[in-house]
Amino acid sequence: MDTLEADVIVISAGTAGLAAAVAAAEKGMEVIAFEKGSTTGGTANMGMGPFAVESRLQKLKNVPLTREEAFNIFMEATHWSVDARLVSNYINKSADTIAWLEEMGVEFIDCIAYIKGAHFTHHVVKPASGVPGPRCASYMMKALTERAEELGVQIFLQTPVKKIIKEEGRITGVIAEGPTGEIRANAKAVIIATGGFGDNPEWIKEYTGFEWGRDLYSTRVPGLVGDGIKMAWEVGAGRERMQMELICNIPVSIDDQGNITPDMIITNVFKHPNLMVNIQGERFINEEIMGNPSYLANAVARQKDRCAFVIVDAQIVKHYEKRGFEWLTVLSPEEKVD
């Protein structure tokens, strides 16, 4: 077994992991990052950009939202069921984080409201093409990776951490397994940045009550199986309520073999203000909020068998065929919606 030494070990090289690794390295620490995937970036490679309040771009565009207002909105929306200290730190440091990324060469093309009625907090990364879209945040992750390497961070790909080492009541390192065998890495601190458990149907059913493919069709990122959470529990971490945000939860199509396959047309019909009823034929939702996938999924989850139907007539179908879907979701501050 190979043995490595560092000041800080980071488990996973996704958004949080790379940010932690770079921040520690900028303080002069020796950092090792272990990533079980074949590339860095994690879930952010699928996204468009991060959240922030009172950033340079927002001030340039006269976005009026303040950090205090954002904090109050967040806490009221969650009914103060989350750790207010973490929320406060997250929001208060968000603008500085955007500036930090810009210093690395990351460009943000716009700040948008991701859904109708939301605030303009979503900072969209400018890709090489200049045209924003899904996966453009991968350019941010590329910049973070390059900065980490520049600072001497050792990044081990396809090397999952299997165990966190605890000796005499202290965390002293990890055991990882790479392509050529096991590695023991000793450090003064270990940072777990492995994300959630959206790719673990067993945990989803156990901890949330949802069943993948039956009443849950959320975004499923390969590898997010909760391994970091499990390792933390094994060395004495406390347990909290386990839950998932129900976003992109509505629905998918079924092919001839009964397999679930994504179908954007069906999904888009569910995201527009069409008549929706439950299995008993009862209307149960204000259709104006259907563009918010979390609200929609929460409402459907309360219905019998977690089942709902959207009713459209031939005229609506012809309208979609002719004009497509009118998106009232991704907006810039300068735009107006009647």
pLDDT band at residue 221 under the 50/70/90 scheme: confident
- The confidence score (pLDDT) of residue 250 equals 61
Token pair of 51, please? 């959240």
Amino acid at 303: Q
Given a cut of 80, is residue 284 above it in pLDDT? Answer: yes
Owner of token pair 């391994």: 227
Report residue 264's pLDDT band, with 50, 70 and 90 as the boundaries.
low
Residues 258 and 314 in one domain: yes
Other Cβ atoms within 10 Å of 332 Cβ, number? 12
pLDDT band at 10 (very low <50, low <70, confident <90, very high): very high
Q: What is the DSSP letter of 212?
A: B
Tokens of 181: 């065998």
CA dihedral 48, 52, 57, 60 (to 10 degrees): 140
Stated pTM of the model: 0.84
Q: For 75-117, what is each residue's pLDDT tens digit?
A: 998 899 999 999 999 999 999 999 999 999 999 999 999 877 8
Asked if 165 contacts 174 with a C-beta cutoff of 8 angstroms, the reply is yes
Whether 222 is covered by a domain: the verdict is yes
**Could you give the CA distance from residue 272 to residue 290 in angstroms, rounded to a whole number?**
6
Domain identity same for 39 and 142: yes
Answer whether residue 337 is part of any domain: no
Same domain, yes or no: 146 and 189: yes
SS3 7: coil
CA dist 308 and 120 (Å) reads 31
**Into how many domains does the chain fold?**
4
Q: Which of 184, 207, 234 is at the close of a domain? A: 234
Whether 260 is covered by a domain: the verdict is: yes
Residue 244: inside a domain = no
Q: Does residue 220 sit within a domain?
A: yes
Note the residue count of the chain. 338
User: Which residue shows structure tokens 């390059």?
Assistant: 146
Give the integer Cα–Cα distance in Å for 324 and 319: 7
Range of the domain at 206: 198-234
Give the ranges where 235-313 is alpha helix by DSSP (H). Answer: 264-270, 293-301
Classify residue 226: in a domain, yes or no.
yes
pLDDT value at 330 more than 60: no
Residue 298's pLDDT is: 86
Please say if the pLDDT value at position 328 is more than 50.
Answer: no
Q: Are residues 187 and 229 in the same domain?
A: no
3-state DSSP of 224-255 = CCCHHHHHHHHCCCCCCCCCCCCCCCCCCEEC
pLDDT digits (tens, 9 = 90+) for 303-316: 998 888 999 999 98
Taking only the tens place, the pLDDT of each residue in 32-47 is 999 999 999 998 998 8
Residue 336 lies in a domain: no
Residue 63 DSSP class: -
What is the rounded CA–CA span in Å between residue 228 and residue 176? 12
Give Dmax (Cα) for the chain: 71
Write out pLDDT tens, residues 113-146: 987 788 999 999 999 888 887 889 999 999 999 9
Whole-number average pLDDT of the chain: 88
Same domain, 142 and 17: yes
What proportions of the chain, in percent to the nearest 5, are helix, strand and coil? 35, 20, 45
* pLDDT bracket for residue 234 (50, 70, 90): very high
Name the DSSP letter for residue 187.
Answer: -
**Within this chain, do residues 70 and 122 fall inside the same structural domain, yes or no?**
yes
Phi-psi label, residue 302: left if phi above 0, alpha if psi -120 to 50, beta otherwise: alpha
Does 10 lie in the same domain as 153? yes
148 and 269 share one domain: no
What's the pLDDT score for residue 137? 93
Classify residue 15: in a domain, yes or no: yes
Query: Do strands 275-278 and 253-254 pair parallel, antiparallel, or not at all (unpaired)?
Result: unpaired
Q: For residue 100, what pLDDT is reported?
A: 98
- The better pLDDT of the pair 261, 325 is held by 325
For the record, the structure tokens of 230 come out as: 């499990």
Residue 3: strand pairing partners: 184
Residue 334 has pLDDT above 60, yes or no: no
Same domain, 67 and 88: yes
Q: What is the pLDDT of residues 171-202, one digit of tens each?
A: 999 999 999 999 999 999 999 999 999 889 99
Residues 258 and 319 in one domain: yes
Q: Are strands 275-278 and 308-311 parallel, antiparallel or unpaired?
A: antiparallel
Answer yes or no: do 143 and 181 share one domain. yes
pLDDT of residue 215: 78
Residues 260 and 283 in one domain: yes
Q: What is the pLDDT of residue 30?
A: 98
Q: Residue 172 maps to which CATH number?
A: 3.50.50.60
Of 11-25, 34-48, 172-186, 286-300, the range with the lowest mean pLDDT is 286-300
